[in-house]
Amino acid sequence: MEYYQQVQEIFSNNYFQEYGIIGLFLNSLLSATAIPIPTEILTSALLIGGENIFLVALALVIGSVIGGILNYFIGFGGNKLFKKIKKESDIEKNEKKHNKILDKFGWSAIFFAAWIPVIGDLILISAGV
């Protein structure tokens, strides 16, 4: 719990607030890449400070979308690295398992999984694999 409070103090101070919408975009991007940085604090601070709600929403959405895409490519590139390290038979077995799940539920399941806190980031990374 202490770790979370330290992270919250770091990102609720002026570091991101100095940059306004750009800071919110970066905060949202990092938060969407499986790094637990709360965006709610900065979002609230900007809205209370009178920032345009449309710009705040736009920064949050664009940051989250780009973060999700980065997760996918981390999984995609990580797969090549993982293949070099791991035994081939284990990789093929896991790939078949992931492909079977993807074939069963389709890409729409990955889209909706992105809305699940914490687990959604991991699902996007595994989708890239």
The domain total for the chain is 1
Under a CB-based contact definition with an 8 Å cutoff, are residues 63 and 71 in contact? no
- The CA-based diameter of the chain, rounded to the nearest angstrom, is 57
Each residue of 102-118: pLDDT tens digit? 677 776 767 776 666 65
Distance from first CA to last CA of the chain, Å, rounded?
32
Asked whether 42 and 27 are in contact (CB, 8 A), the reply is: yes
Range of the domain at 56: 2-128
Q: Residues near 12 by Cβ (< 8 Å), separated by ≥ 6?
A: 41, 42, 45
CA 34 centroid distance within chain? 5
Q: pLDDT digits over 52-77, tens only? A: 999 999 999 999 889 888 877 877 77
